[in-house]
Amino acid sequence: MKVLRTPDKHFNNIKGYPFKPIYTNIISDDGTKLRIHHIDEGPQDGPILLAMHGQPVWSYLYSKMIPILNKSGIRVIAPDLVGYGKSDKPSMREDYSYQKQVDWMTQWMKINDLNNLTFFGQDWGGLIGLRMVADNPDKFIKVSMGNTGLPYAPNTPDEVIKKIKKFRESKIKLTPLSMSKEINKMDTGMTHPALKFMYWQKFCWDSKNLPIGLINSAMMENKPRNEIRNHFILHKFGLSRISPYVTDLMKAYDAPFPTPAYKMGCRAMPSHVPIIPDQSLEAQKKAREYFKTTDKPFMSVFAGNDPVTNAMEKDVLNMVPNAIKVPHIGGGHFFQWTKPKELSKVLVDFIK
């Protein structure tokens, strides 16, 4: 496995992320050493929140919440998934899978001897973290999550599967705007949600130089459509760093990826979301069976206005009979950034 490591200089001058880096070496299944980054902030004797991010972000997503949580006496541990942030980045598509991410992060957790954890995950942070909880229940005392779930689709119609595979292999060219137009229809009930999520999967994989900063800015900063379009044009010509539309947030999310070669994790992982039956089917079933019977305190906190995951909330509540359902707090997909005070308060109340 060829592994890339972002030079530290690329993280200089990122605003609002003053946290000390901590690194842990793990060994992948093929014997390759991988370095995983995390931050550990707040009182060392305080209750611990393990906060896990998704795609295509990194622990910077929690930078607004950490001071709020620390002030309430919460110790926050936030890792960067392999392929993201300051963690190492395997360079080939086949290096990534759902199971590998679970295995990598579980090994990281065990090496750091993390215990008595309250978990919070969103997006891929939830898909991976909920599997970690199910596999290692003694490590966790409480579980919380939002805008995520444990997708399990053993009965997806064959016609849907065929359409998805045909679309992925097609030569259709997507832009951020054409992709988001379809994604925003995921929760309308007009068609199978997998037939809309496939637009995100295809856009990410086909974009060899995925515009990560732009994507995150569009979702977290509500960029106007004309700015998204104009910046994407500049990005395609390799001029995004001198674009007049660049923000500090865009710089922070582009920082881990000095060249397109570093972006393989962000490109590959969406295709591993099990929206149709795949190799993760049995592991998903086993994890869901655990949550069906656990008496571990569980909290579901969804934005309520995220078309990608709105439909997941009902599934989560069915999966976890003892789940506490928190009223929707808004903020869209990445509500850690857009609703940091509201989400922090919900988590503090749950923990305490």
The catalytic site residues sit at 123, 306, 333
Going by C-beta distance under 8 Å and a sequence separation of 6 or more, which residues neighbour residue 230? Answer: 243, 245
Q: Which residues pair with 299 in a beta bridge?
A: 144, 324
In whole angstroms, give the CA distance from residue 164 to residue 274.
12
Indicate the helix (H) or strand (E) that contains 207: none
Residue with tokens 């309430």: 72
Closest CA to 258 of 240, 231, 233: 240
For tokens 């992982």, what's the residue? 269
Sequence-distant (≥ 6) Cβ neighbours of residue 324 within 8 angstroms = 297, 298, 299, 300, 350
Rounded Cα distance, 201 and 93, in Å: 13
Nearest to 301 by CA among 348, 240, 232: 348
Query: N- to C-terminal Cα distance for the chain?
Result: 43
Per-residue CA distances from 221 to 274, 318, 330 (Å) = 29, 33, 14
Q: Give all strands (DSSP E) within 71-122, no chain letters.
A: 75-79, 89-90, 117-121
